[in-house]
Homo-oligomer: A and B are copies of this chain.
């Protein structure tokens, strides 16, 4: 024992478990009258936001829901969804946000596997949730959100409406931080492309740090006005559910990404920040001109999931947005890596700068390690921008593991690193660039073809709105690239023309052999459903 280990240590005066839940009481104490949440004409101050969260915790506790219990929610980005990010963990429970675009079977599976004790559900999703509850075949507390801003079909399914449920609780509920910061705070099911989804367990320490990391990486300003174009069910809104509260910002709710509404809200509330999958950017760019309300400030927008093409960056910039590209996964609480701007890029032509911005980039300051490496030996690949390896991540922002799946957890954490399943190169400047999901790589005549590289070329073609490339089984070559292409409205192009275009810009073996035209299927989080396309390609 050295000099500094004797009579010194952590105790109640100098240790408190880290938790992002604590951001709300602090902001509510300092800025009680500031608007925390905007939803249509409704304004909720931080004082009231804090009271609502405590009411929710109290009402849940009164129904016997507490430590280690799962509370599922099937909600759009409405005030109840924000309340749940604080109120559920204040009760000691774990928040399970369900992707609202899932089907009956999957919702039933998640409620069952996650052992939900309660479900808060919006009337809009009754047609899925109703049958899912029947399939589940056991009773649980069901609370309906009957949002005045929703006037579509859908019955109430539960025993009580959400606002009435809140009224049952006390605004003075005396919540306590978790006993240990390694305790679970949220449960997010991966939008599994095959088989049953896996339940990713988030912890208090990790979500606290990702929220802090978001503020640092983006310089999220104090009093940010954050528009919820990103689903809050997606990695808890990439932890912006907590980060926006940390900086005392305003959450602007949004039930769905309706471009006319998005532009109007940006102008009306002087939105400073928003996030979204690439499809959100497409929706905004391709909105009819009359929907594009002008605004006279710059809106910072983060996007991830796939690289923003140069033309998207340019089109967004012309509309008043500054795009930042990031990378993350459900398993690392959302954002982990961002394409941090370099001073040297200021002087580059737009296209070259865009090429840099297309890279996923460098680890956030709260992430302990990021390497592109051989997943077995853990030896990093040379930083040559060419050699492909797997992206491995390490540190406090990695999940606790997969719920009830120790084998999958152990496999994911092999060698003390989280194995992302993403294949990438590392450039000489240390910036990482994703080349493909491990399972999306196409092996043709022994050559590795990055489906993403082919997509990047296709996306550059003026007639193409969106493209996806998957492997198609081939007797001679093993696999060949098969492109699915959605053309811009009114644009035309032939298969031969696009294949020729790819041959001019790629090694010949990487050019698609087949091109299929039509709208592309996307997941709820805006990712293209490659597994569907792969099946189609197999059946061609």
Contacts and interface: CB of A to CB of B under 8 A. Distances in A.
A417 interface: yes
Contact of A13 (B5, B183, B342, B398): B398
A192 interface: no
A187 B22 CA distance: 29
Contacts of A69: 2
A318 to B, nearest CB: 25
Interface residues of A, number: 71
A396 interface: yes
Contacts of A404: 3, 6-7
Nearest to A399: B14
29 contacts: A2-B67, A2-B68, A4-B94, A4-B201, A5-B68, A7-B405, A7-B409, A8-B184, A9-B401, A10-B182, A10-B400, A13-B412, A13-B416, A14-B203, A14-B394, A14-B399, A14-B401, A16-B396, A26-B363, A26-B365, A29-B362, A30-B362, A31-B342, A34-B343, A212-B212, A212-B216, A216-B246, A219-B222, A246-B365
Contact of A4 (B8, B14, B68, B219): B68
A340 interface: yes
A395 B208 CA distance: 15
**Main secondary structure on chain A at its contact with chain B?**
loop
A47 to B, nearest CB: 12
Contact of A8 (B7, B201, B219): B201
A273 interface: no
A129 to B, nearest CB: 22
Contacts of A509: none
A247 B177 CA distance: 29
A446 interface: no
Given A246-B365, A365-B246, A413-B14, A4 B222 contact: no
A365 B246 CA distance: 7
A418 B13 contact: yes
A363 B22 CA distance: 12
A141 B337 CA distance: 42
A29 B183 CA distance: 32
Interface in A435-494: none
A23 interface: yes
A349 interface: no
Contact of A11 (B9, B247, B403, B416): B416
B2 A396 contact: no
B16 A395 contact: yes
Contacts of A203: 14
A428 to B, nearest CB: 11
A152 interface: no
Contacts of A187: 4
Contacts of A201: 4, 8
Interface centre among A7, A29, A187, A201 (most CB of B within 10 A): A7
A368 interface: yes
A272 interface: no
Given A70-B3, A115-B3, A221-B219, A413 B11 contact: yes
Nearest to A209: B18
Interface string A357-380: 000001101001100000000000
B4 A394 contact: no
A12 interface: yes
A364 to B, nearest CB: 9
Nearest to A18: B396
Nearest to A19: B368
Contacts of A507: none
Interface in A171-199: 177, 182-184, 187
Q: Which 5 A-B pairs have the closest CB atoms?
A: A2-B68, A12-B416, A14-B398, A4-B184, A16-B368
B215 A8 contact: no
A220 to B, nearest CB: 9
A219 B30 CA distance: 16
A30 B216 contact: no
A218 B407 CA distance: 45
Contacts of A362: 29-30
Nearest to A181: B10
Contact of A403 (B3, B10, B34): B3
A16 B31 CA distance: 33
Contact of A394 (B13, B34, B368): B13
A18 B396 CA distance: 9
